[in-house]
Each structure stands twice: as C-alpha cells, then as structure tokens.
Amino acid sequence: MSWVACTLDDICDKVDGHIQTGPFGSQLHQSDYSKVGTPVVMPKDIVNGTISEEGIARVSEEHVLRLSRHKVRTGDILFSRRGDVGRCAYISPKEQGWLCGTGCLRVTVDAKVADSKFIFYYLQQASAIDWIEKHAIGATMLNLNTGILATVPIMLPSLPTQRRIASILSAYDDLIENNRRQIKLLEEAAQRLYREWFVELRFPGHESVKVVDGVPEGWTVTTASEVTNVLRRGISPNYDETARLSVISQKCIRQYMVDMNQVRRQSKSFDSSMGLLDSDTVICSTGTGTLGRVGKVFGNHPNCTFDSHVTLVRTNGTVGKHYLNLRMYELREYFDSCKTGSTNQTELSRSIVQNVKVYIADSHTQQIFGKIEEAYHQKMMICQHQIQLLTETRDRLLPKLMNGEMEV
C-alpha cells in the first residue's frame, strides 16, 4: 500500500473554504451574543474531538447572515487558534450551519482528494499534535494561524483506504457516544428525582407532612459551610508530564461530570484531603463562559487534585454526597450571576458557595434518596469505564493505522 506525502493545504478545498480564520473580535462583540439562536463555536466548546453545547454562545439570524462565510459544514475540522492549539473537532450533521467563532480556525477538506474523517483522525495523532505545538508561535501562550496549519505534513493512502481506516476508528467513537448518551439519560433521571423531592417537595409521604415557610416538618435548613468538611480552591500546579501526581482544571468539568482524560501531570505535593474522591463536587470558579459550571467526580483518584480555578465541595456526612452534588448543580446559574471582577477576570468567591442554603431532610428520606441516586451513579460508572476502555483501544489503534503498520 503506497502512501503519498503532502501538506494539509494540498488536500483542502481551494474553491469553497480552504483554511479560514474565524471572525475577528471587531466583527463579533460580546453584546452580540444571546441565550437563543445559532451556536457560535469557540475553543472552549471543542471537547474530545466534538462540539459541546454546554454554555455555548449564540447569535441571532441577523448576525448569522452577516457572518455567513463563517458557517461550518459537515466534515469541516475546527482548531483552537490559541492555547491548546492541538485540539480540534469534527463537524457532524448536527452542527451544520453553526458559526466558526473568534479564536477558531476552520479546515475544509476537498472530498475528491481526501476523506475528512480520516484527516481528522490523522490530526489527532500525538505526532501531528506535537508538530503543531512545535511550530505554533508565542512564548506564554501558543498561537496558530492559517499559514502554520497549511504546512502540517500529511501521509495519504488511497481514498478507499482512508475511508476504511476512518470507518474502523468511527466505530469506536460511535460506541463511546452511545455510552455518553446513556450517562446523559441517567443524569437527567437523577436530576428529575432531585427536583421532585427537594424543589417541588413531592417526596414519599409528603401528603401527610406539614410544610412551614417552605420547609417540611422534620427537615432543617442550613448553609453549605455547615454540611461540608472540604470547601476550598485548589493548588497552583507545577506541570510535569513525567510526574506521578495529576490535576484537573476547569476544562475537565463538562456536562455534569469530570473528564479524567483531560487531567494533566504535575509535581506539586498536596494534602491527602485534596485528592479527588468518588462523588466529590467541583465548581468552575473563574473566567467567562465556564464560571459556575458544576461537575461530579466518578471513582477515587487520590493522586489527582484540583487547581486554583476550581472549588471542591465535599460533604461531612450531614447530607448525602449525591444530594449535595445535585444541589450545587441546581445553583450553577446563581453562581454565574454572583461573579465579580472584570470581563476576563471574573471570580466566584468561596463565601458565596459557603452561604448557599441546603436542606437537611429527615434521615428516612435521605436514606431512600441516597440509595436511588447511588444506583444511578453506579450505572454511570459502568458507562464511564466502558468509555475509558474504548478510548484506550482506539488510541492504541490510531498510530498503527496511520503509519501503515496495520493494513486494512
């Protein structure tokens, strides 16, 4: 099987797209964004090779028409232009017509020359990411431009071979996505139960319980500071890819969970109480667009901690760990509304989290709720484990398929 050496520029669609920078800041202002409308993909929305809708910015049809040249199409590949420049996402039919946002680069592959899914996987290889990072410019923050991206070296097999390789890798991604959908359904069930029992107060036996000032008889109201033994920000890590310890950052907190595939190695020691435990709650506590985001830790990770942009909340046993997590998740918009500081340096103070109200239900209600939520949690853990295994298998296959070691 012969492979041909070329560059990313050689296989791009020269007529309809090529490699294009997203709109400049002067074309799309903060005031243009809204809660409804067409999504605008920013670097923060690029997660695990896909586009995350959680907290995604949107614009009205008026701005979509004005910026129509930045619309993405199925098969486009989006890159982050700053920071984590090796990160990219494949545009699926679901995202057709969305906008490539400021801070992103859009690559449109010529379908007559190359399979866009194959190219996406090719660019996910460690060797391709290393090349991009080494050729990016900037000392404190890496920056990528169209010129650099155009010269990324590509080894290209025949089109039928490209499609077969993409099909093999896509099969793993489809299974991973199925498990993610299962987790989402379980999360939604857990959140519905929480709202029914603790917001609508329709818990078992509620018909015979008197409610005074919004509090059922036998329940008490306190603050988060009274029901936690850890409520604090994390460390300033010393990043070291050879270190034994690791750390999560805000980018690990997505869609109600902590993505342990996004952790980074670091060498700074930390107190054992700061190691991540199963069902710990973490809150994004700085920045715009991510502040207030809440996630849940799955499994015990004693050698992994959290950085100074993240707040850890852990129950002292007065309330259940699943209840506390769901209570914090309920408050994510409130946390965002409590931010202080300038536009690019917003903060969520620890005192805000400490002082939020928490219900302490009677022991019987807590026990039943905890058992149901634990069952949901265990099923999510199984799905998470499957995702981990599938990801590891796919990532082992990726370089072997891309260098021709494994024929298809």
**pLDDT value of position 17:** 59
Mean pLDDT on 40-65: 90
Percentage of the chain modeled with pLDDT above 70: 98
| pLDDT for residue 284 is more than 90 | yes
Q: What is the pLDDT of residue 343?
A: 63
Average pLDDT over the chain reads 93
**pLDDT tens for residues 163-203?**
999 999 999 999 999 999 999 999 999 999 999 999 999 99
Give me the pLDDT at residue 24, please: 81
Question: Which band of pLDDT confidence, cut at 50, 70 and 90, is reported for residue 3?
Answer: very high
pLDDT of residue 28: 82
In percent, the amount of the chain with pLDDT more than 90 equals 80
- In this structure, are residues 321 and 381 in contact, taking their beta carbons and an 8 Å threshold? no
Region of poorest pLDDT, from 121-130, 138-147, 238-247: 138-147
| pLDDT tens profile 221-267 | 999 999 999 999 999 999 999 999 999 999 899 878 898 888 999 99
Q: What's the rounded mean pLDDT across residues 140-165? A: 94
pLDDT given at position 1: 60
Residue with the bigger pLDDT between 14 and 208: it is: 208
pLDDT band at 304 (very low <50, low <70, confident <90, very high): very high
- The residues, any chain, with a CB within 8 Å of residue 126's CB and separated by 6 or more, are 399
Statement: residue 15 has pLDDT above 70: no
Answer whether residue 140 shows pLDDT above 90. Answer: no
Residue 341 confidence (pLDDT): 85
Confidence of residue 33 (pLDDT cuts 50, 70, 90): confident
Least confident of 9-23, 168-182, 217-231, 279-293: 9-23
Judge whether residue 289 has pLDDT over 80. no
Q: Please report the pLDDT score of residue 152 as a whole number.
A: 96
Angle made by CA atoms 364, 368, 369, in degrees to the nearest 5: 115
Q: Residue 364: is its pLDDT beyond 90? A: yes
pLDDT band at 2 (very low <50, low <70, confident <90, very high): confident
Longest Cα–Cα distance in the chain? 78
Confidence of residue 10 (pLDDT cuts 50, 70, 90): very high
Domains parsed from the chain with CATH numbers: 4-156 (3.90.220.20), 220-360 (3.90.220.20)
Residues ≥6 apart with Cβ < 8 Å to 230: 273, 274, 312, 313, 314
Q: Is the pLDDT of residue 25 over 80?
A: no
At residue 16 the predicted structure's pLDDT band, cuts being 50, 70 and 90, is: low
The answer to whether the CB of 169 falls within 8 A of the CB of 394 is yes
